């Protein structure tokens, strides 16, 4: 009776999970290949970065772009740093995946809106002889002080005129650079450029220490507020250039999802038919356990959440096969115990006990493989490893707990001909033999 009550509770919980999976609560998070979206590849110019600091600068660039993308509400973006190998010249690239955005121009604009902040000194000799055709680049000299060193920006107002200004604070490294620039150029203008445009050219009256500066100009309040937001969330530490784009249409991603669902349903139906025909009543139990396995896994994918990609679905389907393997091991061990003449309940219990060591070792091996793949793999490989690892853990629970509870709930106390047939297997009658204890 205990196992029958537990079985009813498990079935009710399974129905609740089915409703949760089917509902719109916590919708599935789909990767770029399934939801459609845009992939942008940027190359980064690290020529001005000191030797040995390129990796750190690229990580800072990745964080800045990621914050920038998150600011626009793009769900599950992926921003990764890639470095070319020996054949790629060791160049640094940034891969940005934006699920749900299929307009490449809009995506480029969203990333490209990120301002680039620079401080440059003025070449006074060239400025004195400049003409109308002279460009700012020709009379300005780079100082190395850029948005890379920016710590924060805030909106302030001029005490006299009430005009909006932007106060910026550099980090310790930027503060040293700023002090050096103002010390060497007292009485000279220092141009502040935003996206290559000079927005202010204040004259240095004295050396400035502490890393604080004020950008003044003809700003409207809303314009200054937007600039402060962009600087705080998007000042680029390195110049980047768009190297390539790829757009995956939502319809193509939807086709991939539908094809995957159809393949999964056909595969599950074929597997269920085979296991029921071969193992009969235990086969039906195994199918029920697999349904619960699928529901628990999908609910976990929604709740964590796990970003599902084609590779991730492959890992999930692979784990279904491993869940079937566990049931096959359990049923075969149970049959062996029945052939020894043990009562049905004892045979089921002993079958699970003997199968457990093989199931444990097999699943631990798979978990180790999943951990290594997740640790060292690329984003696609990590998705495969994550769904595989979760699937293995869930399959251990359903195979050992759910299947055992269901089998003990439906197993009769005596081993008659009908029971012998239902717990037999194969095309011929290879079911358990009767024993003296049960024939009495």
Task: Please spell the DSSP secondary structure of 116-161, one letter per residue.
Answer: -EEEEEE-HHHHHT--TT--HHHHEEEEEEEGGGEEEEEEEE-TTT
256-311 pLDDT, tens digit each? 677 777 877 888 888 889 888 888 888 888 888 889 988 998 888 888 877 777 77
Report whether 415 contacts 439 (CB < 8 A). no
User: What is the reported pLDDT for 427?
Assistant: 46
User: What is the reported pLDDT for 439?
Assistant: 37
Count helices and strands in the chain by DSSP H and E runs? 16, 13
**Residue 287: which residues within 8 A CB-CB, separation 6 or more?**
272, 275, 276
Answer yes or no: pTM beyond 0.75.
no
Task: Please give the backbone phi and psi of residue 7, each rounded to the nearest 5 degrees, phi first.
Answer: -65, -40
- For 313, left (φ over 0), alpha (ψ -120 to 50), or beta? alpha
* Residues 178-181: contacts with CB under 8 Å, at least 24 apart: 178/119, 178/145, 178/208, 178/211, 178/213, 179/207, 179/208, 179/209, 179/210, 179/211, 181/119, 181/121, 181/143, 181/145
Higher pLDDT among residues 438 and 94, named by residue? 94
For residue 368, name the pLDDT band (cuts at 50, 70, 90): very high
**Residue 210: which residues within 8 A CB-CB, separation 6 or more?**
175, 179
- Asked, as a colleague might, if the bond just before 47 is cis with ω within 30 of 0, I would say no
Report whether 249 contacts 33 (CB < 8 A). no
Asked which of 50-54, 234-238, 360-364, 376-380 is least confident by mean pLDDT, the reply is 234-238
236-267 pLDDT, tens digit each? 667 788 888 877 665 556 676 777 778 778 88
The three-point CA angle 347-349-352 to 5° equals 105
Q: What b/e readout covers 194-229, taking b as 16+ CB neighbours within 10 angstroms?
A: beeebbbbeebeeebeebebebbbebeeeebeebbe
Integer-rounded Cα radius of gyration of the chain: 33
For residue 438, name the pLDDT band (cuts at 50, 70, 90): very low
């Amino acid at each position: 009776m205990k196992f029958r009550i537990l079985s009813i509770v498990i079935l009710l919980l399974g129905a609740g999970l089915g409703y949760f999976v089917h509902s719109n609560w916590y919708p599935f998070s789909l990767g770029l290949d399934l939801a459609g979206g845009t992939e942008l590849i940027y190359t980064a110019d690290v020529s001005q970065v000191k030797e040995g600091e390129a990796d750190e600068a690229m990580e800072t660039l990745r964080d800045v772009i990621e914050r920038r993308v998150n600011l626009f509400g793009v769900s599950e973006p992926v921003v990764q740093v890639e470095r070319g190998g020996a054949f790629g010249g060791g160049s640094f690239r940034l891969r940005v995946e934006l699920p749900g955005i299929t307009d490449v121009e809009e995506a480029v604009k969203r990333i490209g809106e990120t301002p680039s902040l620079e401080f440059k000194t003025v070449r006074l000799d060239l400025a004195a002889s400049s003409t109308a055709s002279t460009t700012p680049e020709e009379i300005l000299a780079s100082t190395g002080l850029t948005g890379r060193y920016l710590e924060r920006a805030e909106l302030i107002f001029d005490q006299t005129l009430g005009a909006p200004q932007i106060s910026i604070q550099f980090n310790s490294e930027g503060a040293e650079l700023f002090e050096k620039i103002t010390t060497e150029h007292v009485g000279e203008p220092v141009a502040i450029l935003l996206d290559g445009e000079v927005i202010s050219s204040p004259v240095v009256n004295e050396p400035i220490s502490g890393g604080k500066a004020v950008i003044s100009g003809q700003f409207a309040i809303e314009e200054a507020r937007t600039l402060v937001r962009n600087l705080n969330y998007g000042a680029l530490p390195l110049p980047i250039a768009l190297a390539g784009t790829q757009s995956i249409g939502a319809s193509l991603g939807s086709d991939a999802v539908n094809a995957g669902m159809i393949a999964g349903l056909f595969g599950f139906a074929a597997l269920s038919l085979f296991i029921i025909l071969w193992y009969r009543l235990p086969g039906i139990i195994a199918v029920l356990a697999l349904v619960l396995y699928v529901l628990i896994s999908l609910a976990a994918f929604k709740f964590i959440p796990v970003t599902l990609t084609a590779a991730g679905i492959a890992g999930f389907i692979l784990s279904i096969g491993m869940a079937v393997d566990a049931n096959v091991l359990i049923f075969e061990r149970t049959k062996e115990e029945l052939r020894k003449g043990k009562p049905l309940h004892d045979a089921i219990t002993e079958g699970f006990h003997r199968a457990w060591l093989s199931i444990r070792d097999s699943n631990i091996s798979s978990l180790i493989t999943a951990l290594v793949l997740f640790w060292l793999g690329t984003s696609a490989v990590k998705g495969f490893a994550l769904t595989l690892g979760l699937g293995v853990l869930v399959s251990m629970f359903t195979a050992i707990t759910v299947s055992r509870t269901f089998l003990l709930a439906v197993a009769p106390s005596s081993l008659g001909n009908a029971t012998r047939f239902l717990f037999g297997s194969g095309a011929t009658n290879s079911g358990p033999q009767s024993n003296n204890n049960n024939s009495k």
